[in-house]
Structure formats: C-alpha cells, structure tokens
Structure 1
Amino acid sequence: MPRVSVVVPSWNTRGLLQACLASLRRQSFRDFEVVVVDSGSTDGSVEMVEQDFPEARVVALGENRGFSGAANAGIEATDSELVALLNSDTEQDVGWLSALVAASDAHPEAGMFASRMLSLHDRRVLDGAGDALRASGLPYRVGHGEVDRGQYSVKRYVFGACAAAALYRRRMLEEVGLFDEDFFAYCEDGDLSFRAQLAGYRCLYVPDAVVYHAGGASSGGGRSPTATRLGTRNSILLLVKDLPAPLVPATLPAFLAGQMLRLATSAATGTLSAHLAGLSEVPAMVPAMLRKRRRVQKLRRVEVEYVERLLEASSREARRSLLRRAKDRVLSGIGG
C-alpha cells in the first residue's frame, strides 16, 4: 500500500490534466499512487490518462457529482494513511509532496496541510497561502492576488486548507466525515476545515509545498454564474452547519454586514442574478444542514473560546491580506 494517495478530480480539463499528471511524475517523493476521478468528461480525458499515464488509476463516475462527490469517490477508492487532493488545473513543484509528508511527520497534532499556491499564469503572484474564514462568515484564500515577496515563507497554523492542493490524514477524515456532497463545489473545503477544527485537528500551512494553480478551469472562474451561485449559497450553509451556537450573537452583525457587501459587489460586477439564485436555494437546504449540525457539534472537542480566537485571528489575517493585495494592485498592477 502506498503511503499517499493523490486524488485528482477532473471534468473536461484534458490539456490541464495532462500537465498536472506529468508534474506528478517528477515528484521527489515516490511512495504514492495517483487516482484520477472523472466526472463524465466528454473531451477524451479518460482515454488520455489510460494511454499516456498507465500508472494512474481512473475512477469513472459517468456523471458530474461536483468536486465534493469526485473527491469522496477518490478517497473511498483508496486505503493510504495520507490523502492528497489536487485540482486538475495545477502543476506541482518537484518537492511539493515531499514537503507535505515531512510536515505530517513533524506535526502529528495537525490533520490538514495547506500548500503555497502560486498563479499558473504569473508565478510572481500568489494564489493562496492557507484559507481563512472572516468574521462575516465569508471564506477567503489568504494571499490571493498578492505579489509573492516571501511574506508567507514561514510555517504557521491557519483556519483551513484549500482542497485544490492539500494533504489530509485519513483517520481525521474517517472521524469528521468526508466532503459534504450537498455543497457540490465551493466552500466544501471550508466546511471540512471547520469540522476538523471543531474536532481538535489543526491545519498547518507548509510554504515549501509549492503548487501552480490556474483556477476556475471547470466552473468558468471566480465570477462565473456557477461559482457565484454556489459560493453564495454554500458560505451561508457552512455557518448554519458548523458555527457553535454561543458564537451566533457576536457573529451576526458582521455576517449581515458581509452579506450586504457581497450583494453590492455582485451588483457592481454583473453577477447579481447568480448571487440571488444562490440565496434563493438556501432555505430549502437549511433543514438538512441542521440535521448534519447535530453530528458536527456532537464531535466538537475544543472549547467555544478556542473557536472564537481562531475566527478572530483568521479574520485579521484575511484583512491584512486584502490590504496588501490592494496595495499591490496600485503599485504594480499585477496583483489580480
């Protein structure tokens, strides 16, 4: 049995997937298997993998179950101690997996490990350095759009890991559960990170684990109707499911302010209809989230005060990142 299973969900991204798998062949760490989970692609992705990458195993779903469903199918098809998830629109530095595994050995208290993600198209620009959850309840990928000046070159604990390039302990996944397939895509990794934190598993950001990420290859990008609708809906469902009840009163003002800001932003960027569509889907999904909430809160091992400090620190880090990103846009024009 390999020590690590690298699961790559894929849906009609043949060219990007080919580059992703080629970069995995160059990894310095070798004790791993590759599992490509195909969600009913029609672009010849499966045939390409079978012909060009016979070392990879294909799990063909025959339908699009979203990132959550594909990731879960890959995890369930493997038995390794560690599971790495990769988006098909990524390429990995040669030492990416080695750095993550070394971090897992050195930090047994952590159940999740986040990569340092750079833009595939402009490698001067960060795509992410660990995930945050703001006081408003809105997720944020720390470092996104900032010029990489080494500001995220030190290991640190973060709220969560972006599942586009992350490592998880299987025993943690078995305890807290896999990705929520009701989310389909977007915020499913934030939900998993929140559940893991509640159960006492920390997330470590590993700066030496470098990945280059295009982003939005399957959904059409962060401002696409699909991304907007799912992001709007799922960011609310995440709080319904995971936020401990004692923190609701203190969180509510920031949450409402964040929702108003998001509404204004969607109106300004031409995504209002998709945003409203996401909001309209929330009420019908709340009962299911409340049922799941009972199990999530039952598994909570940490004190409410720990969660409060975690969210406050996460929100501060997101604010600092947003300020640096704005400054980079003004000074250089490359912080997209």
Structure 2
Amino acid sequence: MNKPAPSVAIAILNWNGKKFLESLLPELQQLTYPNYTVYVIDNKSSDNSVAYIQSSYPAIKVIELDGNNGFAGGYNKGLSLLNEDYYLMINSDVEVSPSFIEPLVSMMESDTTIASSQPKLLSLKDHTLLEHGGAAGGMIDFLGYPLCRGRIFDASETDRGQYDQETEIFWASGACCLVRREAYWKVKGMYNFFFMHSEEIDMCWRFISEGYKVKYCPDSYIYHLGGGTLSHQSPRKTYLNFRNNIIMCFRNSPWYVNLWLIPTRLVLDLAAALRFLMNDWNNCKAVLLAYKDFIKWLIFEKDKFPAKKKALWSIPFVLKTSVAWQYYINNIKEFSKLKKHEL
C-alpha cells in the first residue's frame, strides 16, 4: 500500500489583500498535490476580504484574528491552530503553477533534518528576472547583511538557469516556503517583536542553530510581485529592515561575536544613513530611528534570546566577505561572482 501524501496547510496571511486573493485563490483550486487544505489567516482586514472568501470559496477555511498582528504575529497565531505535517507559507501577491508543491514536499520528505525549503522566485512583472524577495534562495554575509542567490541589494539577475541546482541556503523566503511543523514550533515560530521584515531570516538562523537545514528547490517555481505591503523605497520598510536586522544579529550571535559585530555594524549602517542623506532625508531618519529603537529593545524587551546561538562565520556557506564592499566598492552585482573576490 502506498504511503499517503503528507498533509500540507497552505497558509495565506492576509491584510486588505482582496485584490491579490481574487487572482491567487482560483489558482489554488487547480493544484495537483493530493493532500492540502487552504487557510487564509486574516489580520482584521477592512476591505471585505473575509466576506469575499466566504461567499466565493466556502471550502477555504478563514482564521479571523482580532487585529493586525503583522507577519510574524499573524502567522504564529494562525499556524498554532493547524495540525498539518507542513505549513506552506505563501504571500497573496503570487502566481503559482499547478504542481509547484510536489518538489518541495519530496525534498523535505527525503531528509527529516530539513526545516524549510524554498522554490525559485521569479518576478511577476518580468518572468525572466529572479525576484527581489527570495530569488534562488536567501543567503547572508558574516556581518549579517542578507542577500539572495540571484539578487544583491537592488540588482536582480536574469534567470539563465545558473541557479538550477539543489543547495543548502541560509534563509527561505516568507513569500513562499514550506516549513516542517515540528521544526517551526521547536524554535517557537517567528519572533513576534519584528512585526514584519527579517522574521523569516531570524527563524531560519534559529533552525540552523538547532541543527536543521534550509534548502532551495529549483524544480519548484512561483512568480512574485513583491512590494504588496510596502514599496522598496518606503521609509517604514527601511526602518523595519535596519531595526530588525541589527536585533536579529544581536540576539542570535554569541556574546563574544557581538563585541566586534555590533560596533562594526553601527559604522556601516551610519554610512548607509549618510548615503540616504544625499537625496532622501526620510530614509536617513529611518536608519537613525532604527538604532534608537534597537537600544530601547536592549533595555526593555524581555525574552530576547533563542535557546541556542550560532556565529555566522562558523556556518560553512555564509559569505566570509562583506557583500556591501563587494557591491559598492568592487561593483559586483551577481551572486555567482562574489566567491571569486575577496576584500
């Protein structure tokens, strides 16, 4: 007798995303995977999203939350009610192919130490480009600056098949990733304080600290719009990215690493603020506010630290060079070329 397919909870976090759901939900009815349930976790939308789902797709289960809990809090609350083997966390601003789930599940089932897997993310606006929010898997440098295989800062690569090999990565994109339920709760899910941005990177760091793997699955792909909540130029996005990233580095790094990492990051991030100052005071101010609130977090926030920590430089596939130096000084815009250059 064939073993039944593992159960998958397709969990869409929604906040006023009715216009995106109108495109995505019909596609999810055409999936070929045999054992899945679609859930919409709603962060108290005011655009009639819930009424639309209930009238147009009564089979889809809606989890209505009592307020806007953000990305991390919304998923933590919603997923705590689900018992499927895997959580497929997926944004509403995506297009999917009917068979995109099977390769992800197959990869996870082949190795129980894989906590999460990510498909290839291509741009919904231009299907030839790897998409900003995940591309061919998330990576990080030893200073804690994130990047993607196929996207460094604002430079996205054309997909030429250069990242069509299965590989271990540092983080799987929250735009679309399959997560093992057991692993999710072992690391206590995403960090609620972050609200949105960097939460999946922080969670994947904790997966790795606990001995799990995160992998990229090139046989699965989706198209992602990106910027559906905040545009890339938004000062709010800048603030959350800088604040959450420095908090993530501090809370996941051993104390002896923080002795040099945090001062180094302060210098580099202030340089970024000065760069913004040239033509964008609001984004400059966002970086300064991020550090002000990092200090407040240090003083007032409780339950700051995960059970286990792991220094970035001790992880084999973490870049041992500064991605900012490579990008801005050496003018390297492609991930595949980073390993060929040193400072």
Q: TM-score range by the shorter chain?
A: 0.7 to 0.9
Cα distance in 1, alignment partners of residues 173 and 300 from structure 2 = 24
Q: Which residue of 1 aligns with 2:339?
A: none
Q: Secondary structure in 2 aligned to 1:16?
A: helix
* Alpha-carbon distance in 2 for matches of 1:114, 1:157: 10
SS at match of 1:102: helix
Paired-residue identity, % = 25
The residue aligned with 1:234 is: 244
- The question of 1:47 aligning with 2:58 is answered no
Partner residue in 1 for 2:120? 116
Is 2:269 aligned against 1:262? no
Q: Of residues 315, 320, 323 in structure 1, which corresponds to 2:332?
A: 323
Query: Could you tell me which of 139, 159, 168 is aligned with 2:179?
Result: 168
Q: Secondary structure at the match of 2:332?
A: helix
**Which residue of structure 2 lines up, in the alignment, with residue 188 of structure 1?**
199
Q: Return the TM-score normalized by structure 2.
A: 0.85
Deviations 1:117-151 (A, max 9, x none): 01111111101111112222222233231111111
**Aligned match of 1:14:** 18
Letter in 2 for 1:166: C
C-alpha distance 150-318 of structure 1, shift in aligned 2 (>3 A): farther
Q: Deviations over 1:206-233 (max 9, x none)?
A: 01221111112122x1221221111111
* Structure 2 CA distance for aligned equivalents of residues 55 and 282 of structure 1: 43
- In structure 2, relative to structure 1, the CA distance for the partners of 1:150 and 1:62 (3 Å cut) is same
User: Given residue 125 of structure 1, which amino acid in structure 2 is its aligned partner?
Assistant: L
Counterparts in 2 of 1:19 and 1:324: CA distance versus 1, 3 Å = same
CA–CA distance in 2 between the matches of 1:100 and 1:82?
10
Distance 1:308 1:289 in 2: 28
How many residue pairs align between the two structures?
A: 320
**Corresponding position of 1:331:** none
Paired residue for 2:234, among 221, 224, 228?
Answer: 224
Question: How far is 1:268 from its partner?
Answer: 4.3
Unaligned 5+ runs, structure 1:
328-336
Q: Which residue, out of 85, 97, 104, partners 2:89? A: 85
Distance change (3 Å), C-alpha of 1:165 and 1:319: farther
RMSD of aligned residue pairs (Cα, Å)? 2.7
Distance in 1 of aligned mates of 2:72 and 2:143:
24
Deviations 1:296-317 (A, max 9, x none): 32xx5x7x59734343369679
**Do the aligned partners of residues 175 and 317 (structure 1) sit closer, same or farther apart at CA in structure 2, a change above 3 Å counting?**
farther
**Is the CA contact (8 Å cut-off) linking 1:130 and 1:141 kept in structure 2?**
yes
Deviations 1:176-231 (A, max 9, x none): 11111100000011110111110001101001221111112122x12212211111
Change (3 A) 1:49 1:240: same
Residue 43 of structure 1, CA deviation: 1.2
Give me the whole-angstrom Cα distance separating, in 2, the residues matched to 1:105 and 1:27. Answer: 19
Q: After the TM superposition, which of the residue ranges 230-239 and 259-268 deviates more from structure 2?
A: 259-268
1:200 matched to 2:211? The reply is yes
1:129 to 136, 139, 144: 136
Moved more, 141-150 or 174-183: 141-150
2:167 pairs with one of 134, 139, 156? 156
Structure 2 runs not aligned, ≥5 long:
337-343
